[in-house]
Structures are given as structure tokens and as C-alpha cells.
Amino acid sequence: MRRTAAAGVALAAAPAALYRSTMANIKDIARHAGVSVATVSRALSTPSLVRPRTIERIEAAIVDLNYEPNHLAAGLRRQRSDNVIVAVPSIYNPFTSAFVQGIENVARANRMRVLLGITEGDVETLNKYTAMIAGKQADGMILLENSLPDVVRRPPAGGKVPPLVAACEYPPDLQLPRVRIDNHEAAALVVSHLAELGHRRIATITGPLAQFMSKDRLAGYRLGLARNRLEFDAALVAEGDFSLQSGHDAMVSLLENGDEFTAVACANDEMALGALSALQQRGIAVPDEMSVVGFDDLRFGAFASPPLTTIHIPTIELGEAAMRLMLDSLLPAEEQPPAREVVLPHRLIVRQSTAAPRRRRRKS
């Protein structure tokens, strides 16, 4: 217990103080309560193993000395940080932030913390975040990304693949716990809704087709066309990047192509809102001359002019489910439940941006 280098100092206690942090630690509590550190630790983590009166004394000491357990030390000992990384290209996006909110909800309820991992779409950054798991800065990672960290593709010789949960459309052969909605059916549902209203020429604005999710929604669109015996026309497909501006631009290009169509299914609400603004600028009435459908159910869509018909995604619940899968993955191997994929229900929300085609739109 004595410092070896305390060379000839009369007062043995004094020098130690110089080297001690200002915060009380578990040893101080033990001394103050007249018990051993082991008992303090137990009182905190497994109170059932400690006599009630002892607990009281310890609690009093904790209050007296204003003690806060050092999480770094506990983590080092337990080999856990109680952090989970959530990797997203950007947080500046209502869909993403709703998802993160969901993750935080259940993380907090389970004494875990969310570490934000913003990648800006860069795989190298994503790899660095992944390395943080090996470095014990986090216990696992939830991916709301288009790309995958390298470890998943080629696991390192010795090491194991860290706890990962996917919340994006990754190739189905990938053996990762995942949460998602049925993008395929949801997109088809949009087309059916429009077809039932009487639309025959239905355009679509997709997300970046390099992303699985975009491809899936486009495939769903085609499925919807087929189900309603409508022909697919590549001229009615415009690619956006999920942003307002790209929705606006895609709408303009669709209009300028000169092909006839009376409705447009957008791969997300942002682009639908962008499309709406393009239509408004050109004086094309929605829904009279053009029906518009979004995807996501952002609250901004409900207050747009006109309020946007869209697919509701339980985004927060998706985040909550993802975090639950993560908690499962963090369980000791023998307790891990086998559940691997969660598919949450979507639903169509019909507002005022869709209606039966009434007037014929003139070519511009």
C-alpha cells in the first residue's frame, strides 16, 4: 500500500494525497463506511448479497463523499464500455434522427449510451468506428449505412466479427441481425393506390440506385405496375439522391422529357416535397393535374400543401428494435436468442396529394 519511492518522508499519508484524484473512490467509501471495497462494490451491483444495515451505511458514505463510481475502471475490469455506436452517413436528416431517437430510447432504458458515428458515407471512417469496438470504446455498432465495414466481408484471421446490427437493406445473404420494413411491398402498395385511383402513367423518383434500399423500392414499383397490368417505361424513372433539391430537379426533368404521366411515386418524403415545389412553381395543380406520393411519413409532409400521401414507416420503433437486437447480441453466447430479423409493418397514409386523374396535363 505504501509508495516505494516515498523516501524518508515523516508523514506517510501526505504525499499520497498529492497523487490522488480529487474525487472520492470506492476505497474512500469503504473506509468511511467501515467495510471492505468488495462490500461496497457488491452493495452497488448486487445489493441482495449485502445486509440491509450495511447498505445503509454505505449509502450514507456515498452521499457524504459525493461518490460517483468510475465507469472507466469498471469498464476496464468488465471489458465493457456500455456504449453502442450508431453509424449514419449524416444525422442532419429527419428520418435518421428519428431512428437514432428510437435507439437512444431503449439504450437509456438499459443503461447503455449512444455514441454518434457520422461517416459522411466514407467507408474508411466506418472502418475506424468499427475498430473502436475492438478498442473497447463501444460494445457494438448499429448500421444505418449503405456500405459495410470491411471486417464483415473478410473477417480477420484471429479476431471475430464484432456485434453488428443492420438497419439498411443489405444483401440478404449477409448473416447479420437486422431490422427493416418491406420496401418491396410498400412501394408496390403505392403504385396500387395510384392505379386504383385510375392512374395509368405513373412516374417514379428513386433514391441513388447504388443503394440497396433504392433498388428495392424501384423493384417494388415495378412489382406494383405488373400487379396492375401497367407497362414499365424507363422514361418515367428519374434518379434522385433523397434530398429536397434532387426531388425538385428530378420532377423538372420528368416534366421536360415530355412524356405523359399523371402521378409520381417518390422514394422518400423529402424528394416528394421537392417535387411538390417544382410542380407549384410551374403551376401544375396537385392533385388535380398530378398526384404525388412520398415515403417515410415525415411530419413535414403532413403540413405540406397539399398534405402528402405517403408510406408510414415506424421509424422510432425501427430504432428501438435495432437496439434490442444489439442488446441480444451483447448477451453471453449461451443466452443469445436466435431471432435475427425484424420486419416492421408499414402502412399507406392517404392525404390530399393523390386523387383520381381529372384533367389532362398539357405537355410543357
Give me the least distance between CB of 98 and a copy of itself, in Å please.
5
Q: What is the C-alpha separation between 325 and 321, in angstroms, rounded?
A: 6
Q: Which is nearer to DNA, 43 or 98 (CB)?
A: 43
Q: Which residues would be at the binding site for a copy of itself (CB under 8 A)?
A: 21-23, 65-66, 68-73, 75-76, 79, 81, 83, 90-94, 96-98, 100-101, 104-105, 108, 113-116, 118, 131-132, 134-137, 156-160, 244, 248, 273-274, 276-277, 280, 299-300, 302-307, 316
Q: Which is nearer to a copy of itself, 47 or 75 (CB)?
A: 75
Select 64 or 259, whichever has its Cβ closest to a copy of itself: 64
**Least separation in angstroms between CB 5 and DNA:** 6
Length of the chain: 364
Of residues 222, 253, 242, the one with CA closest to residue 294? 242
160 interacts with, out of DNA, a copy of itself, none, CB within 5 to 8 A per kind? a copy of itself
CB of 28 to DNA, least distance (A): 8
CB of 86 to DNA, least distance (A): 25
Nearer to a copy of itself (CB atom), residue 131 or residue 356: 131
The rounded Cα 239 to chain-centroid distance in angstroms is 24
| From a copy of itself, DNA, none, interface partner of 276 (C-beta below 5 to 8 A by class) | a copy of itself
Residues at the interface with DNA (CB under 7 A): 2-5, 19-21, 23, 25-27, 34-39, 41-42, 44-45, 48-51, 53-54, 67-70, 73-74, 76-79
Rounded Cα distance, 249 and 187, in Å: 21
Phi, psi angle pair for 10, to nearest 5° = -65, -50
Type of residue at 337 = P
Helix ranges, the chain (H): 13-19, 26-33, 37-45, 52-65, 71-78, 94-109, 123-134, 150-153, 183-197, 212-227, 244-257, 269-281, 299-302, 315-330
* Cβ pair 55, 43 in contact under 8 A: yes
Residue pair 320/105 in contact by the 8 Å Cβ criterion: yes
Identity of the residue, 3 or 359, whose beta carbon is nearer to DNA in the bound complex: 3
